[in-house]
Copies of this chain bind each other. A is one copy, B any other.
Amino acid sequence: MPTLAELNAASASAFTDLLDGVYEHSRWIAARTWAARPFATLAALKAALVQTVRQASRDEQLGLIRAHPELAGKAAVAGQLTAESTDEQSRAGLSHCTPDEFARINALNAEYTARFGWPFILAVRGPRGAGLSRAQIIATLERRTDNPPDFEFAEALRQIHRIAELRLNDKFGFVPEQGNRVWDWCEHLATHSEPAWKERGELTTTYLTDAHRAAAAEIAATMRECGFDTVDIDAVGNVVGVYPGSDPAAPRLLTGSHYDTVRNAGKYDGRIGHFIPMACVRAMHRAGRRLPFGLEVVAFAEEEGQRYKATFLGSGALTGAFNPAWLDQQDRDGISMRDAMRHAGLPADLPAIAALRRDAARYLGFVEVHIEQGPVLGALDLPLGIVTSINASVRCVGEIIGMASHAGTTPMNARRDAACAAAELALFLERRAAADGDSVGTVGLLEVPGGSINVVPGRCRFSLDIRAPNNAQRDAVLADTRTELAAICARRKLRFTLEQTMREQAATSDPALQQHWERSVAALGLPLHHLPSGAGHDAMMLHTVMPQAMLFVRGENAGISHNPLESSTADDLDLACAAFQHLLDTLAAS
């Protein structure tokens, strides 16, 4: 088994030989990467190999893809696979397909290859490094055959890099132990799902349901097992673990994220934000190590606003943002939040909730690790990203009112077509946001209510969702969009309504804390990439009272989130654990 030191010291040809088999039949990748030595970490080596492929021509990339065998294909049957492929396909049980499964995979392979012109490639050892089931493989093959070709081309390369990552781990004897641990915790926590969803194998854990309480109990138990000195469930259901520092008077570092979920959720959204710090505490505790400052990890009970319209309830309770009126809100079944709290054994008592408010002077700040929930890091093949700001956002719903008329008998110059006006608006917002740096603008709702093929639309409903790195940019995009809407309607002689339904301020990362994240990522040998957070996070709430900075972990499957396809890998989670430990270490040193 080679070491990184041997690799760094190797000649070009020895280097290429050492990495033979990492990228299937494609020694040119290792050969071209040799010049980038030395590699401080295995992660740095992986990143350099990825970079070589990114810089190759499209024909070379296509050649790399086509160098891979079909899954359970003729080469496998004929015993013509590389040793690595044989091992991987056999771990996934592909050598034990039933005749039906074999026929299905072959038919899907043929359809896929006919559509794209290259073989279907999947890291069959999966995100945790264990073999995917044959059913999972077939489902993925079915799903990915629907992808647009350019998207699937990129996905094939991502799978190849993942295969290479697992082969490199084997080659260098590396096991992402912390990542596996966090992965397993996420997996087990996801077994607590509300009955109707659990039946379908889906994850839904909304505020103070039985599944939610079971999840809280499990997090608390895991915290105790990690070695936190105190573990409590507070008056709103937050699970709070404290790992005191060597100086009890020193300000603590606050971290965490939420454990509630949306309906039919992914397993990583929120949850890795407490599990990653917990893995670090577990390691420090086992090493008998204390930081100079205390670490307070909070698994927030509520962030998603699913059961009650009370988004960010968990983190809001720490900043005094709990709205007393929420206690009287009812869920779909008519159960008030007050009753739900009592049922969960919480006091449902306003003074007790108010007492959760943290004194910012007693904290160094708040850091939060979160899955990206977007495609940026995946598209760049980067496992971690530095969050510069949680974007300011505003949402509106509106309606354009024209005049419905006969599609055959109303001349083009006599129309008051509400849908064409909405079309102009959607394209304006798209252009305006694209011209505004990191801002985004979306018309997500668009509908001609009660429309007919043969009727000129008299009404069109739409929504606006605008997010920008700072409040001023957000406000300018909205103002321009509203001005354009008015101009469109004036020109087309239409009326409109526009109602604002949500508005959140930007939360710019604290420069000092952000710099700690940057140092941690750089220390892992990874390229730095800065990006804003387009989604809201608990850090937004803490931002109102203390400095904060977030770290993003790449999401698989183009960053899809709020969906069972949301995923991460044990390797990425392991890097996030390492980055978090680095952050603790540099904070301790400073």
Contact = CB atoms under 8 A, between A and B. Distances in A.
B375 A558 contact: no
Contacts of A433: 412
Interface in A465-498: 465, 467, 493-495
Question: A438, A440, A453, A495 — which one has the most chain B CB atoms within 10 A of its CB?
Answer: A453
16 contacts: A148-B493, A151-B403, A373-B408, A373-B409, A374-B405, A374-B410, A376-B411, A379-B414, A391-B408, A405-B559, A423-B423, A423-B443, A427-B427, A444-B448, A453-B463, A453-B501
Nearest to A439: B412
Contacts of A409: 372-376, 533-535, 559, 561
Nearest to A433: B412
Nearest to A434: B412
Contacts of A559: 405-406, 409-410
A562 interface: yes
Interface in A522-557: 533-536
Interface of A: 148, 150-151, 372-376, 379, 391, 393, 395, 397, 403, 405-414, 416-417, 419-420, 422-424, 426-427, 430, 433-434, 438-448, 451-457, 460, 463, 465, 467, 493-495, 501, 533-536, 558-562
A415 to B, nearest CB: 8
A426 B416 contact: no
A406 B376 contact: no
A539 to B, nearest CB: 14
Nearest to A413: B434
- Which are the 7 A-B pairs with shortest beta-carbon distances? A374-B409, A408-B534, A423-B423, A407-B442, A409-B534, A412-B434, A453-B463
Nearest to A555: B409
Chain A interface helix/strand/loop/mixed = mixed
A440 B410 CA distance: 8
**Number of identical monomers bound together in the oligomeric complex:** 2
Contacts of A407: 440, 442, 444, 465, 467, 534
Nearest to A427: B423
B495 A148 contact: yes
Contacts of A424: 423, 427
A494 B417 CA distance: 26
A335 B427 CA distance: 48
Contact of A408 (B445, B451, B455, B465): B465
Nearest to A453: B463
Contact of A561 (B406, B442, B447): B406
Contacts of A439: 412
A374 B411 CA distance: 8
A446 B419 contact: yes
Contact of A430 (B417, B455, B535): B417
Given A403-B148, A403-B558, A430-B420, A457 B444 contact: yes
Contacts of A533: 408-409
Contacts of A534: 406-410
